[in-house]
Structure 1
Amino acid sequence: MIPYLLRAAWAFRARHWYRRAPFLPLPPRSYLRWRLETAYGDPDGQPSIDEFERYIVWSARMRREMTDRRHA
């Protein structure tokens, strides 16, 4: 599960994250709030652990399929 988490974190990093403190590849806060609001109707909503895990695995599978299609 950790490799999936790391890949997802890298995929959602903000552009030019290395130019702004705290110099971590984090997604923009506005993007996270928008995602939570569109998913739960509340920008402060929280996914369950199960839902979060399913999303991470699903996103890894989608990235792998897109890579496979590009190389086919």
Structure 2
Amino acid sequence: MVVSLVKLLAHPGIWVTAMRVGWRLGLVPDPDYLRFRMVTMYGDADARPRGDDLVTYLRWCKAWQRSR
């Protein structure tokens, strides 16, 4: 978690997107949703998201939001 936060702080262009996504997920994602995402991304329900992957995901969210 700390590594992800440090990676996020290094990319101020996605801070607002991170806040929006966090707000939509209720700041803490539902455990079932999080397990599903970890399985689909890493193949392991107990995996922890890597910082670079968080930044990539937030950039995708930002681009998707702009395209709507």
TM over 0.5: yes
- Contiguous gaps of at least 5 residues in structure 1: 14-24, 67-72
Runs of 4+ in 1 over 2 A off after TM superposition: 10-13
Higher relative contact order (CA 8 A, sep 6+): 2
Structural mapping, 1:25-40, within 5 Å: 25-40=27-42
Number of corresponding residues: 55
Gaps spanning 5+ residues in structure 2: where? 1-13
**Larger-gyration structure (1/2):** 1
Distance, in Å, in 2 between the alignment partners of 1:26 and 1:55 is 16
Q: Work out the percentage of aligned pairs sharing the same amino acid.
A: 31
TM-score normalised over the length of structure 2: 0.66
- Structure in which a larger fraction of residues adopt helix: 2
Q: TM-score, normalised by structure 1?
A: 0.63
